[in-house]
Amino acid sequence: MTSLGTLHAPLANFRAYKARVVASFLSLPLDLTPDFVLHTDNRTSEYLAKFPAGKVPAFEGTDGFRLADSSAIAYYIASKAGADSPLLGQTAEETAEILQYILSAEADFLPASLSTVGPLIGFLPFIKPAHQVAEEQTLSYLDGLNRVLLDRTFLVGERITVADIVLACDLILPFRAYLTDADRRQFRNVTRYFKTIISQPAFKAVVPSIELCKERPKPATPVKNEKTKKEKAKKAEKPKAEKPKAEKKAEKPAEEAPKPAPKPKSKLDLLPPPKMVLDDWKRFYSNNDTKPDAVNWLWEHFDEEGYSFWKVEYKYNDELTKIFMSNNLVGGFFNRLERARKYAFGNLLVLGQDSNNQIWGYFMLRGQEVPEEVTDAADYESYTWTKVDHKDPKTKAEIEDCFAWEGSALPREFADGKTFK
Ligand SMILES: N[C@@H](CCC(=O)N[C@@H](CS)C(=O)NCC(=O)O)C(=O)O
C-alpha cells in the first residue's frame, strides 16, 4: 500500500503522535521526518510556502493535499479508512460528539494545561497569577472529564475513536510532568481512561511507554532580570525635564520637524562587516559532520574581530532534576533568544543523569560583548556568560566537542542538548 503522505514533525512530539497513532490503529502507512528540527525546519521559505502559519505538525499527501493542524490531520487520516472508519462516528450524533470532545480538548484544555505545565518544566516563564488561573482551568476541565468518564470507557460510544486518541495525546504532558499520585487518585476515572488508551497496542507502537509524574516540579527559577528592574527604577526616579522652548515650538508643525535618522535595528548592524558570515557557518555546520569538517571550516574562517566566544553555564544546576526537563529549560531559553538569532550561534548541552545534571555549553556572539539581543531574554540572568579565548587548546577542544555533542573534552557524560542557530 502506498503511503498516505508525509507528516512533517519531530518524532517525539505529542501533537504529531495524534496522526501517527491513528495511522497505526488503521495500519495506514505514513512517512515521517525523523530529522525534523522544530523552530528551524518550519521556518524555511519552502515550508512556509506550503504551510504559511509555520506550525508543526503539517501533512502533505502523496496526492498533493496539505493540512496543518494536529487534530485535523488525525481526523483526516482516520477518514482514509473509508466512510465506516472504525475511529469515526457512525451517526451524525456520534460525529458531532467526536468533534465536541476534540474541539474542547484543543480550546478549553490544552492552552490551560500547557500554561500550567510549561512554566514548571522551563518551557514558559513562571508568572504566579497567570499560573494560578491556568491551574484552576486545568483542574476544572479534569474534574468535568472525570465526571464524564465515571461510567464510560471511551468518550463516544463503546469503542475507541479519534477523539480518545487526540485527548490522550493532549494528556501525555500533564500525566508525565504534573499529575502526581494524589492527583491521579483524585481524577481516578481520567487516570483509568488515560491508561486504557495508551495501553492499546497501536498506541504503544508509537509511544512505547509514558512514565507518570512522581513529584510535581517546582516552578523554574524566577526570572532575575536585574538590569530591567534597575532601568525601570531609574526611569521612575528621574523627574521629567522641562523641554527647552525652541524644542517645544518645533513640536507644533509636525511636518516642519526634521525627520530623525532611521534607527538601526541593532547596534551590531553598525559594526564593520565581519569577514565570516554567520549564516554561512550555520549552513556549513548543519550540512556537514561537525568533527572534523565543520570545526575545521570554523577555525579557517573565524573572524576574531567580528565575533567572540562565550562559555555558558546554568547557575542553578543543583535544582535540575530530569534530563528532559533540563533540556526543555534550554529549549525555553532558546525560544526567548529569538531576537539574537541573526547574531548568535551556540550549543547548550545537558550533561550527567536524572537528578544529577548540569547545563553547559558555548556560544559564538557577534561583537565583543554580550549584546542586548541576548541580555534582554528573560532567563539570561540564570546563566553565567564567561568570555573565553578560543585559541587556548583546552577551550578550543571544549568548543569542538560541545558543538559535536561528543568527545573527551566534555566535562561530564553527554545526555542531551540543543543547538541555537
Ligand atoms: N493547533 C496546532 C498548534 C501547533 C503548534 O503550536 N505546534 C508547535 C509545535 S508542538 C509549533 O509549531 N511551534 C513552533 C512555532 O510556533 O513556531 C496543532 O495542534 O497542530
For every one of its 421 residues, what pLDDT tens digit does the chain have, with 9 covering 90 and above? 799 999 999 999 999 999 999 999 999 999 999 999 998 999 999 999 999 999 999 999 999 999 999 999 999 999 999 989 999 999 999 999 999 999 999 999 999 999 999 999 988 889 999 999 999 999 999 999 999 999 999 999 999 999 999 999 999 999 999 999 999 999 999 999 999 999 999 999 999 999 999 999 988 555 444 444 444 455 454 444 444 443 433 333 333 344 555 556 788 999 999 999 999 999 999 889 999 999 999 999 999 999 999 999 998 888 888 888 888 889 888 988 988 999 999 999 999 998 899 999 999 999 999 999 999 887 888 899 999 999 999 999 999 999 999 999 999 999 999 999 9
Is the minimum distance from the CB of 16 to ligand 1 under 6 angstroms?
Answer: no
CA separation for the pair 154, 145 (Å, rounded):
11
Is the minimum distance from the CB of 69 to ligand 1 under 6 angstroms?
Answer: yes
Distances (CA, A) of 162 to 67, 71, 157, 166, 197: 17, 9, 12, 6, 11
Q: Find the 50 Cα to ligand 1 centroid distance in Å.
A: 15
Is the minimum distance from the CB of 331 to ligand 1 under 6 angstroms?
Answer: no
- Calculate ∠ Cα 325-327-331, nearest 5°: 110
**Closest Cα to atom 6, ligand 1: which residue?**
55
Q: Find the 30 Cα to ligand 1 centroid distance in Å.
A: 20
CA separation for the pair 398, 362 (Å, rounded):
8
Three-class DSSP labels, the chain: CCCCEEEECCCCCHHHHHHHHHHHHCCCCCECCCCCCCCCHHHCHHHHHHCCCCCCCEEEECCCCEECCHHHHHHHHHHCCCCCCCCCCCCHHHHHHHHHHHHHHHHHHHHHHHHHHHHHCCCCCCCHHHHHHHHHHHHHHHHHHHHHHHHCCCCCCCCCCHHHHHHHHHHHHHHHHCCCHHHHHHCHHHHHHHHHHHCCHHHHCCCCCCCCCCCCCCCCCCCCCHHHHHHHHHHHHCCCCCCCHHHHHHHCCHHHCCCCCCCCCCHHHHCCCCCCCHHHHHHHHHHCCHHHHHHHHHHHHCCCCCEEEEEEEECCHHHCCCHHHHHHHHHHHHHHCHHHCCCEEEEEEEEEECCEEEEEEEEEEECCCCCHHHHCCCCHHHEEEEEECCCCHHHHHHHHHHHHCCCCCCCCCEEEEEEEC
- Which among 11, 13, 15 is the best mutation to test ligand 1's pocket, defined by most ligand atoms within 8 Å of the CB? 15
CA separation for the pair 30, 59 (Å, rounded):
10
Exposure of 168 by Cβ count < 10 A (0-12 exposed, 13-18 middle, 19+ buried)? buried
Question: For the whole prediction, is pTM greater than 0.75?
Answer: no
Is the minimum distance from the CB of 41 to ligand 1 under 6 angstroms?
Answer: no
Q: Find the 88 Cα to ligand 1 centroid distance in Å.
A: 24
Query: In which residue ranges of the chain is CATH 3.40.30.10 found?
Result: 5-79
* Nearest Cα residue to 322 out of 180, 217, 207: 217
Q: Find the 206 Cα to ligand 1 centroid distance in Å.
A: 20
The topology under which CATH files domain 92-204 is: Glutathione S-transferase Yfyf (Class Pi); Chain A, domain 2 (1.20.1050)
The backbone region for 37, taken as left when phi is positive above 0, alpha when psi lies in -120 to 50, beta otherwise, is beta
**Closest Cα to atom 15, ligand 1: which residue?**
55
Q: Find the 45 Cα to ligand 1 centroid distance in Å.
A: 17
Phi, psi of 369 (to 5 degrees): -125, 170
The topology under which CATH files domain 268-420 is: Alpha-Beta Plaits (3.30.70)
For domain 5-79, the CATH class is: alpha beta
Query: In which residue ranges of the chain is CATH 1.20.1050.10 found?
Result: 92-204
Is the minimum distance from the CB of 15 to ligand 1 under 6 angstroms?
Answer: yes
